[in-house]
C-alpha cells in the first residue's frame, strides 16, 4: 500500500494545536480576542455597579516582554514570556467593599503577592477567533473582586496579583516566567494555567514556592516538588489507571485489537495503563511514542501505518491536538476508520479542540473526563457553581457569556480560573492567622472537599496533592458540535 503525505499546510496544524490547548488553557487576553465581543454581547452599563470596574489608577509594569505590536503580528507562534504586575491602589478594598462588610478588626493589612500564569494564544485566536479564551487576567481579577466585595478574604489580608504570560509550546518560556516571578517579583505563591507544568516544576523545585497548577503531572513530580507542588487534576498515573478501569467496565475493549499512541512525557504513567489493561485481559497489540514537542510529529503517520499492519481496530490517542488531527486525517486518507476512546490529555475533551477532529473519524467517540465538559449539552444549564462563577465574571467585566450547548474556550477558562482560585483562597483562609508558605500548604492539605465549577469534585491531603477525585463519561456529537455528558460521576482509581 502506498502511503500518502500527511495533511497539508502548517496552518491546519496550528489551528488544531490552538484549539486543543486553548479551551481549558485559555489565555490570550489580547485585543484581538476581546474584539470578538460585539456591542450586543455587553450587559447594559446601568445594570453594573460602578465598583465592578477596576480603578483607573491601576499601575501596570511590564517586566519582560517580547510581544510585538498586535497590528504587526504575522506569525502563528505566540511570544515567549511576559510578566505583568497589576498593583491595586490602597483604596481598592474600601471602595469595592459593600457597606455591609464588617470593618476589619486588624489595624494593619498584610499584602500577599500571588503569581497567576496563563498561555499566550493570541496568534491562534487571530487565525480563528473561536480559539480565543477571553482575558485570563481579567477573569482572575473578577474572582478577587468578589472576594473583596463579599468579605471572603481573611481579616487584614490583601492580594496583589502578578500575571505571567508564556508561549504554550516553549518550555524555555515557561521557565522564564518561573524565574521572573520568583526572582523579580518575589511572589508568595503561584496559580498555574494550562500546560504550565515545566514552569510549575521550576517554581516548586528550584525556588520552594507553592504552586497550584492545572494539568495532571507524573507521580515523581509531586515527590520532587513536595511540599510545594499541587495540581487541580489527578496525577497522570491515577488518570491512566482510572482510564483502564473505565474502558474495561464500559465495554469499550471487548473483542478489540488495541493500538496506543502516546507522548514520552507520559513514560512514567503508561506502564500503569499497560499493566492494568493486562490485568483485565487486554493486551496492547501495537504501541508507538512521540516526544510531543512542537506542532505535529513525524511519528503521526508511522503510528497509523503500524496500526493498519497490526489490524488495530481501537486506538487510544494520548497525544497533543496537532498530532491527533494528523493521525485522524491520515487514517481517513487511507480509508482506515478504527474506533477511538479518549481522555483529557491535550485538552481533547473540550469542544473547541474536538471540533478540529475529522467528523468521519471522531463522531460518536467516547471519552473519560475529570472536567464538567458536556454539562450544558446534557442538562441544558450549568451547575449552580458554574453559574455563580459566570455571573460574577459578567458582573465584573460587563461581558455576557454564552451558555450554549457547544462551549466556547472563554466559557471553560472562566470556570477553570474559578476552580484554581478557590484552592488558593482555601489555603490563605486556613493559614491566615500565622501566614507562611508552610502554613499555606497545610491550609490546602486540610481544606474541606471542593465542589468545583469546571471539574469534578476533589480534595487534598498531606500525601495527596492532586485535586479532582472523580471522572465520568462523555460522547462527542459532531452535529452539535459538542461533548455530551453521559452517566454519573465515579471515583478516581488511585494506588
pLDDT tens by residue, 136-182? 999 999 999 999 999 999 999 999 999 999 998 889 999 999 999 99
In whole angstroms, give the CA distance from residue 208 to residue 218: 19
Which pLDDT belongs to residue 478? 97
Q: What is the rounded distance in angstroms from the CA atom of residue 110 to the CA atom of residue 47? A: 33
* Per-residue model confidence as pLDDT tens digits over 5-31: 333 433 333 344 344 433 333 333 333
Predicted local distance difference test score (pLDDT) of residue 132: 80
- Rounded CA gap, 79 and 127, in Å? 15
Q: What is the Cα 77 distance to its own chain's centre?
A: 19
The x, y and z cell numbers of residue 412, run together, are 471553560
Q: 475 pairs with which residues across the strands?
A: 366, 484
Q: Which DSSP string do the residues of 460-492 spell out, in sequence order?
A: -BTTB-B-B-EEEEEEEETTTTEEEEEEEEEE-
> H helices within 357-489, ranges in order?
359-362, 375-379, 384-397, 409-431, 437-445
pLDDT value of position 40: 34
Opening angle at CA 357, ends 353 and 361, nearest 5: 145
Paired sense of beta strands 482-491 and 470-477, if any: antiparallel
Nearest to 320 by CA among 358, 275, 357: 357
pLDDT above 90 as % of the chain: 71
The rounded distance, in Å, linking the Cα atoms of 282 and 254 is 8
CA distances to 111, 302, 430, 463 from 441, in Å: 18, 45, 10, 12
Report the distance separating Cα 419 and Cα 151, nearest Å.
19
Contact criterion met (CB below 8 Å) for 283 and 277 = yes
Residue 463: what pLDDT? Answer: 95
Cell numbers that stand for 401 in this block: 457569556
Burial, 44: exposed, middle or buried (Cβ in 10 Å; 0-12, 13-18, 19+)?
Answer: exposed
Residues pairing with 473 in the sheet: 368, 486
Please tell me the predicted confidence (pLDDT) of residue 128.
67
Confidence at residue 82, expressed as pLDDT on a 0 to 100 scale: 61
The H-or-E segment that residue 210 falls in is: none
The tens-digit pLDDT sequence of the chain (495 residues) is 433 333 343 333 334 434 443 333 333 333 333 333 333 333 333 333 333 333 333 333 333 333 333 333 333 344 455 665 444 433 333 334 444 455 445 556 899 999 999 999 876 766 666 678 899 999 999 999 999 999 999 999 999 999 999 998 889 999 999 999 999 999 999 999 999 999 999 999 999 999 999 999 999 999 999 999 999 999 999 999 999 999 999 999 999 999 999 999 999 999 999 999 999 999 999 999 998 765 678 899 999 999 999 999 999 999 988 899 999 999 999 999 999 999 999 999 999 999 989 999 999 999 999 999 999 999 999 999 999 999 999 999 999 999 999 999 999 999 999 999 999 999 999 999 999 999 999 999 999 899 999 999 999 999 999 999 999 999 999 999 999 999 899 999 998
> Apex CA 420: angle with CA 416 and CA 424, to 5°?
160
Which of 283, 282, 264 is closest to 323 using CA atoms?
Answer: 264
Check the CA dihedral 312-316-318-323 and report its sign: positive
Helices (H), 280-383: 299-310, 321-333, 351-354, 359-362, 375-379
Whether residue 405 contacts residue 435, with contact meaning beta carbons closer than 8 Å, is answered with: no
Cα(448)–Cα(439) distance, rounded to whole angstroms?
16
Give the count of beta carbons closer than 10 Å to the beta carbon of residue 235: 25
For the entire predicted model, the pTM comes to: 0.81
Amino acid at each position: 500500500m502506498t502511503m500518502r503525505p500527511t495533511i497539508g499546510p502548517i496552518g491546519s496544524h496550528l489551528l488544531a494545536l490552538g484549539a486543543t490547548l486553548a479551551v481549558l488553557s485559555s489565555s490570550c487576553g489580547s485585543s484581538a480576542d476581546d474584539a470578538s465581543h460585539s456591542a450586543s454581547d455587553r450587559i447594559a452599563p446601568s445594570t453594573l455597579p460602578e465598583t465592578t470596574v477596576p480603578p483607573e489608577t491601576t499601575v501596570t509594569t511590564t517586566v519582560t516582554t517580547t510581544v510585538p505590536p498586535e497590528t504587526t503580528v504575522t506569525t502563528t507562534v505566540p511570544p515567549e514570556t511576559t510578566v505583568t504586575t497589576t498593583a491595586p491602589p490602597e483604596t481598592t478594598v474600601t471602595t469595592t467593599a459593600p457597606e455591609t462588610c464588617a470593618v476589619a478588626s486588624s489595624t494593619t493589612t498584610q499584602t500577599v503577592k500571588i503569581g497567576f500564569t496563563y498561555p499566550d494564544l493570541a496568534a491562534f485566536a487571530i487565525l480563528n477567533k473561536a480559539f480565543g479564551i477571553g482575558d485570563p487576567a481579567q477573569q482572575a481579577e473578577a474572582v478577587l473582586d468578589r472576594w473583596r466585595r463579599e468579605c471572603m478574604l481573611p481579616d487584614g489580608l490583601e492580594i496583589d496579583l502578578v500575571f505571567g504570560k508564556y508561549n504554550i509550546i516553549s518550555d524555555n518560556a515557561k521557565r522564564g516566567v518561573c524565574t521572573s516571578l520568583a526572582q523579580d517579583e518575589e511572589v508568595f505563591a503561584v496559580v498555574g494555567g494550562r500546560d504550565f507544568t515545566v514552569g510549575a516544576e521550576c517554581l516548586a523545585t528550584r525556588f520552594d514556592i507553592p504552586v497550584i497548577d492545572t494539568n495532571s503531572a507524573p507521580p515523581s513530580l509531586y515527590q520532587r516538588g513536595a511540599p510545594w507542588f499541587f495540581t487541580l487534576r489527578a496525577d497522570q498515573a491515577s488518570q491512566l489507571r482510572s482510564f483502564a478501569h473505565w474502558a474495561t467496565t464500559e465495554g469499550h475493549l471487548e473483542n478489540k485489537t488495541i493500538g496506543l499512541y502516546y507522548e514520552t512525557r507520559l513514560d512514567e504513567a503508561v506502564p500503569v495503563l499497560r499493566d492494568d489493561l493486562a490485568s483485565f485481559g487486554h493486551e496492547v497489540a501495537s504501541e508507538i511514542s512521540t516526544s510531543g514537542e512542537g506542532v505535529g510529529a513525524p511519528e503521526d503517520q508511522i503510528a497509523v501505518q503500524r496500526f493498519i499492519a497490526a489490524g488495530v481496530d481501537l486506538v487510544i490517542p494520548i497525544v497533543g491536538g496537532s498530532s491527533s488531527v494528523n493521525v485522524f486525517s491520515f487514517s481517513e486518507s487511507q480509508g482506515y476508520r478504527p474506533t477511538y476512546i479518549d481522555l483529557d490529555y491535550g485538552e481533547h475533551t473540550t469542544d473547541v479542540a474536538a471540533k478540529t477532529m475529522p467528523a468521519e473519524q471522531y463522531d460518536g467517540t467516547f471519552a473519560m473526563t475529570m472536567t464538567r465538559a458536556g454539562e450544558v449539552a446534557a442538562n441544558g444549564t450549568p451547575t449552580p457553581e458554574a453559574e455563580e462563577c459566570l455571573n460574577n465574571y459578567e458582573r465584573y467585566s460587563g461581558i455576557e457569556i454564552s451558555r450554549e450547548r457547544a462551549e466556547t474556550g472563554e466559557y471553560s477558562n472562566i470556570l477553570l480560573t474559578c476552580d484554581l482560585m478557590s484552592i488558593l483562597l482555601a489555603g490563605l483562609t486556613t493559614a491566615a492567622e500565622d501566614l507562611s508558605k508552610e502554613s499555606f500548604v497545610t491550609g490546602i492539605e486540610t481544606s474541606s472537599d471542593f465542589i468545583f465549577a469546571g471539574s469534578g469534585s476533589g480534595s487534598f491531603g498531606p500525601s495527596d496533592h492532586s485535586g479532582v477525585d472523580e471522572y465520568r463519561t462523555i460522547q462527542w456529537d459532531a452535529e452539535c458540535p459538542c461533548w455530551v455528558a453521559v452517566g454519573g460521576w465515579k471515583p478516581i482509581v488511585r494506588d
